[in-house]
Amino acid sequence: MRHTDNTAATLLMVGSMAAFAVEDLFLKRAAMALPPGQVIAMMGAGGALVFWLLAALKRQRILTAPALRGAALVRSLSEAGATMLYITALALIPLSVNSALLQASPLVVTMGAALFLGEPVGWRRWTAIATGFAGVLIVLQPWNDSFQAAGILTVLCVVMLAARDLSTRAMPADIGTFQLVTWAYLALVPAGLVLMVLAGDRVTAIDPTRWFDLAMALISGLFGYYAVTAATRLGEAAVIAPFRYTRLVFALILAMLFLGEQPGPAMLIGAALIIGSGLYTFARERIRARAARVTG
């Protein structure tokens, strides 16, 4: 029987969200000075190397046919597409806005599970999803003269992340975790190169400051992945999932301290609606799961 420690899992989840916020900060700094495609390709190569070595230590093979077809292929392509969109958006719009929009991901996953996997979603959760999308519109403010169209890239990124998560649910059991993540990072290399071609960018020389940004983004991202994986294995999903929203809190603090951003009322109201609707969705899912156990 699996050992459960919700306290430790919660601390790991919060730590992972802090690490991902730090990763976003350094990725934004790098993407503002270098072509986003170059940043994506370099992060993909670095992450793939680390996880390939970890997979070798775990005796998990990387070059297998199942990892290149079906749900596994969809997951890798979705990961690559989401990263292309997100890092491009990071270079163009405030970190706080990006992070707020990213919080809509669980709502899109719930909607996708209902539409494509046939999972039951009642009117309460559909209302929560609609409320969350209203929050997205408030953050974007498409009716305002200050509307930043690049925010749509993050919205599209959220859709791609939902496709990644839904394809993960359909993943064959014989594909190991490190194998899966290695391929996700490997997919970023051609994705970054394609983005450079589409944008007409050339490889840019990297000064020591940018090397530091890239290294810190890679290290914090790897730690975040380890911590969130450990949290998922150690704690109950219904308990730790809401703590994913702490990522926005950390991102807001970092954006104000290091980037001089000052989130306005509309952004804060929209983020509150997105997070509130997400928390309600988690709560309803927990109630539904408890009822299913009782009736079962």
Which amino acid is it at 7? T
**Chain centroid, CA 262 distance in Å:** 23
The per-residue pLDDT for range 71-80, each reduced to its tens digit, is: 888 888 898 8
Residue 202 CB partners (closer than 8 Å, separation 6+): 35, 196
The per-residue pLDDT for 155 is 93
The per-residue pLDDT for range 22-58, each reduced to its tens digit, is: 999 999 999 999 999 999 999 999 999 998 898 888 7
DSSP string, the chain: -----HHHHHHHHHHHHHHHHHHHHHHHHHHHHS-HHHHHHHHHHHHHHHHHHHHHHTT--SS-GGGGSHHHHHHHHHHHHHHHHHHHHHHHS-HHHHHHHHTTHHHHHHHHHHHHS-----HHHHHHHHHHHHHHHHHH-TTSTT--TTHHHHHHHHHHHHHHHHHHHT--TTS-HHHHHHHHHHHHHHHHHHHHHHHT-------HHHHHHHHHHHHHHHHHHHHHHHHHHHS-HHHHGGGGGHHHHHHHHHHHHHS-----HHHHHHHHHHHHHHHHHHHHHHHHHHHHHHH-
Measured CA to CA in angstroms, residue 248 lies from 20, 98, 254, 275 at distances of 10, 9, 10, 9
The per-residue pLDDT for 293 is 66
The whole-chain average pLDDT of the chain stands at 87
CB-CB neighbours of 291 under 10 Å: 10
Q: How far apart are CA 129 and CA 110, in angstroms?
A: 8
Q: Is residue 295 very low, low, confident or very high in pLDDT (cuts 50, 70, 90)?
A: low
Contact 93, 36 (CB under 8 A): no
Q: How wide is the angle at C-alpha 148 spanned by C-alphas 145 and 152, nearest 5°?
A: 130
Q: How far apart are CA 87 and CA 206, in angstroms?
A: 17
The per-residue pLDDT for 292 is 65
Q: Is 152 a residue whose pLDDT tops 90?
A: yes
The per-residue pLDDT for 262 is 92
Which two structure tokens, joined as six digits, stand for 262? 């000052």
Q: Is 201 a residue whose pLDDT tops 60?
A: yes
Q: Is 141 a residue whose pLDDT tops 70?
A: yes
The per-residue pLDDT for range 206-263, each reduced to its tens digit, is: 999 999 999 999 999 889 888 887 787 787 776 788 888 999 999 999 999 999 999 9
The per-residue pLDDT for range 159-190, each reduced to its tens digit, is: 998 888 788 767 666 677 777 778 888 889 99
